[in-house]
Amino acid sequence: MPSSALTPAIKEEIARLGSADIMVGIPSFRNAATIGHVVRAAQAGLVQYFPDLRPILVNADAGSPDGTQRVVVETEPPGYIEQILLVHPTNRLDRVSLTYPEVDGIGGKGAALRTLFEMAAELKVEALVVVDSDLRSIVPEWIELLAGPILKGGYDFVAPLYARHKYDGTITNTVTYPVTRALYGHRIRQPIGGDFGVSGDLIRYYLEQPNWTADVSRFGIDIWMTTTALTGGFAVCQTRLGAKIHDPKDPGSDLGPMFRQVVGTLMTMARDNAARWLTISGSHDVPAYGFERFVDPIPLEVNTLRLLAQFHSGSLTLADTWQRLITPDNCQRVLALAAEAGVLAEAAARRLGLSRESGEGTAGGRTPTTDEMSDAVAAFHFPDDLWVRVFYDLLVSASFGDVPTERLVAALVPIYFGRVGSLVVEARRLSEEQAEEHVERQAREFERLKPYLAERWREATAAAGQATTVDEATAPDEATAADGAASFDGAATGDAAR
Ligand SMILES: Nc1nc2c(ncn2[C@@H]2O[C@H](COP(=O)(O)OP(=O)(O)OP(=O)(O)O)[C@@H](O)[C@H]2O)c(=O)[nH]1
Ligand SMILES: [Mg+2]
């Protein structure tokens, strides 16, 4: 991790605060409309559940112009804290809002968390709870649910468990959950949930890590935290938080950059930890804290046609790149699927009376629903095994190929859209529970095909002239990574890699 970049103002604040036992950290960027609720819930949670500890609440903001920081400083805990619990807030609660410094010139959620880690370490907190600033469904109990396993149970890392709508959390469902599970063997259902509990020991370990990249300073931070906790051998558990209601995002329009940062980080960390994951097969449950709840998550609409159309248009510009990254058989299957997606999306758009295959426009004055769009492309199916093989091909190419990881992950985005489109189509008649079974089915497929990844990895390692035994397998450095051992342009490696 780069050396401390705390500003003099933040250092002064730390000196003023001295020390704390438990800290709630909230990263934010333009969240004036929602952060007040999060701050109120956190303040109440700290007082209600940890009355004997010295608490602190810190908001690390990006310098939002919308008054986010003012809301944090001015938000008072709910009235019952003083009226019923007889706790005078000004004696008990330090709340701070600061503008976090960039890390190596990069700002973002991760840079905000880096400031929170440094502050937590300086203040010698035993538990840091991080929660997102756009949460609607947070209640005071979340603070206990995220800090309790650390302070009472001796755990170091607490990942969230949420009831999410079947179309929500697509990066989690298609990549981070199944891949983290297959690689490292821990079934952490929400590895990038955004709401975490971290022990003082793990915070210190985080601050010692040398692999803090630009993506980690952005949305790569969540998968970095989870993966680092696992590879560092820390005690990990999950906690049941109920519904995650926050500012919603359509996977086809909002999540491209986030996907690149999250998946880029996951791939870079997989490269660096090969010696660890090559020996792991199967997976095990991760214990969960908190009482089970039954909640109906808020429905989310997805533009299925746009997902399919983006898969198709991506294939037109990226076919060459895909051929360099994906084994020939798999690549052919992907290209055929993309062509099919294009035809289906266009025909569906026509049938629904939309102006363009992208799904923009309205049919009879209204936008068609997810179900209507999905019904119109019901024939589309992106097979589980193909998604897994393509992902594993890319993981090998990211570590041994000649395409920079950033470009590689960008090239994966349209294929990911195709896969998500297919899952949405498949889930259109399913309950949340049934859709969850699909996510599990896919996760099992990632485990089942792990030998495919391991074999391809060993071949690429051998082709790159590196150690082939697991014990000796080490992360390729930048120079060897650029050797192109896994590129399918190269006749020497094309066959070996299949
Ligand atoms: N400080 C800071 N915080 C950010 C920045 N970008 C996002 N955040 C915060 O990070 C948290 C998560 O961001 P969201 O945009 O809600 O993303 P998300 O909810 O993880 O994404 P999905 O669950 O996939 O929808 C929120 O608290 C944001 O305010 C940033 O550039 N700087
Ligand atoms: Mg959010």
Q: How far apart are CA 440 and CA 473, in angstroms?
A: 30
Q: Residue 356: what pLDDT?
A: 60
Question: Which pair of structure tokens corresponds to residue 268?
Answer: 């870079």
CB atoms within 10 A of CB 333: 18
With respect to residue 225, please indicate whether it lies within any of the assigned structural domains: yes
* 242 inside domain: yes
The per-type count for the chain, helices as H runs and strands as E runs, is 23, 10
Residue at which a domain ends, from 257, 289, 321: 289
Pocket flag, ligand 1, residue 96 (CB < 6 Å): no
Could you report the per-residue pLDDT of 285-340, keeping only the tens digit for each?
Answer: 999 999 998 888 888 899 999 999 999 999 999 999 999 999 999 999 999 999 99
Ligand 1 pocket member 132 (CB < 6 A)? yes
Shared-domain flag, residues 99 and 168: yes
Total number of domains in the chain: 2
Let me know whether 265 and 357 are in one domain.
no
Query: Which tens digit of pLDDT belongs to each residue from 251-277?
Result: 666 678 899 999 999 999 999 999 999
Please indicate, yes or no, whether residues 281 and 422 belong to a single structural domain of this protein: no
Residues 264 and 344 in one domain: no
Distance (Å) of CA 356 to CA 243, 256, 340: 35, 21, 17
**CA-closest residue to ligand 1 atom 11:** 132
Q: Which of 260, 289, 318 is the last residue of a domain?
A: 289
Helix (H, G, I), strand (E, B) or coil at 241: strand
Question: Does the C-beta of 200 come closer than 6 Å to ligand 1?
Answer: no
Residues facing residue 163 across a β-bridge? 243
Cβ count near 494 (within 10 Å): 14
* DSSP conformation class of 137: S
Domain presence at residue 297: no
- Would you say the CB of residue 260 lies under 6 angstroms from ligand 1? no
Structural domain includes residue 299: no
User: Probe ligand 1: pick from 24, 26, 29, max atoms within 8 Å of CB?
Assistant: 29
Joined tokens for residue 55:
């608490």
Beta pairing class for 196-199 and 157-163 = antiparallel
Residue 389 clears pLDDT 80, i.e. is over it: yes
Q: Tell me, what's the pLDDT at 457?
A: 97
Q: How far away, in angstroms, is 42 Cα from ligand 1 center?
A: 17
Residue 225 scores a pLDDT above 60: yes
Judgement on whether residues 336 and 276 belong to the same structural domain of the protein: no
Q: Provide the whole-model pTM.
A: 0.92
Strands 127-130 vs 22-28: parallel, antiparallel or unpaired? parallel
Look at residue 3 and tell me if it is in a domain.
Answer: no
Of 34 and 293, which is predicted with more confidence? 34
Name the residue with tokens 């590689």. 408
Distance CA 161, CA 171 (A): 15
Domain that holds residue 204: 8-289
Distances from the Cα of 473 to the Cα of 363, 454, 477, angstroms: 56, 12, 12
List pLDDT tens digits, range 401-419: 999 999 999 999 999 999 9
The whole-number pLDDT of residue 354 equals 83
pLDDT tens figures, 449-484: 999 999 999 999 999 986 544 444 444 443 333 333
The answer to whether position 2 is within a domain reads: no
Q: What mean pLDDT, rounded, does the chain reach?
A: 90
d(CA 445, CA 456) in angstroms, rounded, equals 17
Question: Residues for the chain: how many in total?
Answer: 498
| Paired sense of beta strands 288-289 and 236-243, if any | parallel
129 strand-pairing partners: 24, 197
Query: Among positive and negative, which fits the CA dihedral 96, 102, 108, 114?
Result: negative
Q: Please give the number of the atom of ligand 1 that sits closest to the Cα of 222.
A: 20
Residues 15 and 57 in one domain: yes
Task: Determine if ligand 1 sits within 6 Å of the CB of residue 109.
Answer: yes
pLDDT above 90 covers a percentage of the chain that reads 81
Quick one: 225 and 323 in the same domain? no
Q: How confident is the model at residue 496 (pLDDT cuts 50, 70, 90)?
A: very low
In a domain, 211, yes or no: yes
Cβ neighbourhood burial of 496 (10 Å; 0-12, 13-18, 19+): middle
pLDDT at 353: 86
Question: Rounded to the nearest whole angstrom, what is the distance from the C-alpha of residue 221 to the centroid of ligand 1?
Answer: 11
CA of 310 to the centre of ligand 1 (A): 24
Task: Give CA separation, 305 vs 167, 258, 260, in Å.
Answer: 14, 21, 22
Q: Which tens digits make up the pLDDT trace of 51-105?
A: 999 999 999 999 999 999 999 999 999 999 889 988 876 667 889 999 999 999 9
Token pair recorded at residue 342: 């294009």
387 within domain boundaries: yes
Cβ-in-10-Å burial (0-12, 13-18, 19+) of 347 comes to: middle
CA gap 494, 498 in Å, rounded = 7
Is residue 420 predicted with pLDDT exceeding 60?
yes
Q: Please give the pLDDT value at position 82.
A: 87
List of residues 6+ apart from 332 with CB closer than 8 A: none
- Scanning 123-176, the segments in alpha helix (DSSP H) are 141-151, 170-171
Q: Spell out a b/e string for 450-482, using b for 16 or more CB atoms within 10 Å of the CB, else e.
A: bebbbebbbbbbebbebeeeeeebebbeeebbe
Task: Tally Cβ neighbours within 10 Å of residue 290.
Answer: 21
User: In this structure, are 27 and 101 located in the same domain?
Assistant: yes
Read off the CATH number of the domain in which 214 is found.
3.90.550.10
Tokens coding 270: 């997989």
Ligand 1 atom nearest the C-alpha of 255 is: 24
pLDDT digits (tens, 9 = 90+) for 168-206: 999 999 999 999 999 999 999 999 999 999 999 999 999
Ligand 1, atom 29, residue with closest C-alpha: 28
What is the model's pLDDT at position 495?
A: 29
The 3-state DSSP class for residue 53 equals coil
Instruction: Tell how far the Cα of 363 is from the centroid of ligand 2, in angstroms.
Output: 30
Share of the chain above pLDDT 70, in %: 89
Ligand 1 centroid from CA 401, angstroms: 31
Asked whether 28 lines ligand 1 (CB < 6 A), one says yes
Residues 266 and 314 in one domain: no
Which of 289, 324, 358 terminates a domain? The answer is: 289
Question: Do 267 and 349 share a structural domain?
Answer: no
**H-state helical runs in 32-140:** 35-49, 68-74, 80-83, 89-92, 109-122
Same domain, 321 and 279: no
Identify whether residues 265 and 311 lie together within a single domain.
no
Which residues neighbour 474 within 8 Å (Cβ) at sequence distance 6 or greater? 274, 275, 466, 467
How far apart are alpha carbons 245 and 1 in whole angstroms? 32
What one-character DSSP code corresponds to residue 198?
Answer: E
Which pair of tokens denotes residue 210?
A: 């040398």
* DSSP output for 437-488: HHHHHHHHHHHHTHHHHHHHHHHHHHHTT---STTT-----HHHHTT-TT-T
Beta strand pairing status for 186-187 and 284-285?
A: parallel
CA of 438 to the centre of ligand 2 (A): 24
Dihedral sign from CA coordinates of 212, 213, 219, 222: negative
Among 1-15, 127-141, 170-184, 439-453, the least confident range: 1-15
